Amino acid sequence: MLNKDTKIFIAGHRGMVGGAIKRNLAEKGYTNLLTRTSSELDLRNQADVEAFFVAEKPAVVIDAAARVGGILANNDYPYQFLMENMQIQNNLIDAALKNDTQKFIFLGSSCIYPKFAEQPLKEDYLLTDSLEPTNEWYAIAKITGVKACQAIRKQFGKDYVSLMPTNLYGTHDNFDLQTSHVLPAMIRKFHEAKENGNLPVTLWGSGTPMREFLFVDDLAEAVAFALDNILPDYLYNVGTGIDLTIKELAETIQQAVGHQGEIVWDSTKPDGTPRKLMDISKMHALGWKHKVELKEGIERTYAWFLENQENYKEVKL
């Protein structure tokens, strides 16, 4: 059984997701949280990861480490998104198994599901059809992580579970326009347009695709829930069960930021998947549910952005 001084390794603790998990567990009284920066431990290096596990013997691993980005980054760097993510997760999962790690929580993404799967997305839809081409490299990597954890559950009976969050956002997000996801990119665009006299804001696509968004602190709560409980299945969706159009998202962010200019939609740019709504009934049945609604989450994220805008460019670019 786990307790508050169980050694827990949080891989990727300096990212938005890993940082939220680390803060959440510290607030809950966990006192033995193990972390390493990328300069201290290169998770892509198998020998270094294995040496780390032999020395530290973590009882729990939470894998929040990944190379991530939006449509542009996925399109421009397909090899890195495939290979680096597979290296990171394979090294962690294999070292955890070899060193008798009791529990492994693997974090993925809703992009693992087929592009035109029936909505909402159920866990059973995995590997039933083709993926969205603009992020298939990242998706394929994450699918291999899910299946590796499932294989370990099947073959070795270990408590290795995968959580698939919907689109995440929140404090400590990435606001670099070249690599960020849609929501933080919109916050920055609307803010800078407002600061420059409410200039028009040009956004990608038609605005018609539908997306679901989860505040990162709610994902951290889901990870804590998985830590405190033995989940009976290998794969769980984590989301709100509520989606909206990209156009509605833009208008919500525009209002939160206070931008009063025009929104221009560039239909020459790709829309991506038409809809990605998660079926979260399995997590609800176990007792977890999100707490932060989208409007509140955007306001909290923008407030953090304002407090950190003097250094976010230096940190994130």
Place of tokens 């050694």: 7
Q: What is the DSSP letter of 21?
A: H
Residues 83-117 pLDDT 10s: 999 999 999 999 999 999 999 999 999 989 998 89
pLDDT at residue 315, as a whole number: 39
- Residue 142 known to bind ligand: yes
In a domain, 2, yes or no: no
| Segment (H or E) for 31 | none
Please check whether residue 188 lies inside any domain of the structure: yes
- To the question of whether residue 181 is assigned a binding role by annotation, the answer is yes
Judge whether residue 25 has pLDDT over 60.
yes
Q: How many domains does one find in the chain? A: 1
Q: Residue 312: its pLDDT value, please?
A: 58
108 is in an annotated binding site: yes
Residue 16 labeled ligand binder: yes
What pLDDT was estimated at residue 73?
Answer: 76
Q: How much is the pTM? A: 0.93
**Which of these, 20, 179, 18, 32, lies nearest to 92 by C-alpha position?**
18
The pLDDT of residue 317: 35
What backbone phi and psi angles, to 5 degrees, belong to 298? Answer: -65, -45
Neighbours of 125 (CB within 10 A): 16
Dihedral sign for Cα 301, 303, 309, 310, please. Answer: negative
pLDDT at 314: 45
Q: Is 110 annotated as a binding residue?
A: yes
Rounded distance, CA 88 to CA 111, Å? 18
Per-position b or e across 226-252, b if 16+ CB within 10 A of its CB: bbeeebeebbbbbbbbebeebbebbeb
pLDDT exceeding 90 applies to what percent of the chain?
85
First vs last Cα of the chain: how many Å apart?
42
Cβ(262)–Cβ(200) below 8 Å: yes
Q: 271: annotated binding-site residue?
A: yes
Phi, psi torsion values for 168, nearest 5 degrees: -105, 150
Angle between helices 182-195 and 246-257 (to 10 degrees): 40
Residue 167 lies in a domain: yes
Domain contains 1: no
Task: Report pLDDT digits (tens) over 270-314.
Answer: 887 788 899 999 999 999 999 999 999 999 999 999 999 876 554
Whole-number pLDDT of residue 313 = 52
278 is in an annotated binding site: no
Strand partners for 62? 10, 105
Residues marked as catalytic:
138
Specify the pLDDT at position 122.
Answer: 98
User: What pLDDT, in 10s, does the model give residues 237-268?
Assistant: 999 999 999 999 999 999 999 999 999 999 99
Is residue 133 included in any domain, yes or no? yes
| Distance in angstroms (rounded) separating the CA atoms of residues 289 and 15 | 23
42 is in an annotated binding site: no
Question: Which domain, by its residues, includes 28?
Answer: 8-316
Is residue 255 within a helix (H) or strand (E), and if so which, with residue range? helix 246-257
CATH code of the domain containing 278: 3.40.50.720
Residue 100, number of CB atoms within 10 A of its CB? 11
Measured in whole angstroms, how far is the alpha carbon of residue 239 from the centre of its chain?
Answer: 11
Q: Which of 45, 46, 54 is nearest to 9 (CA)?
A: 54
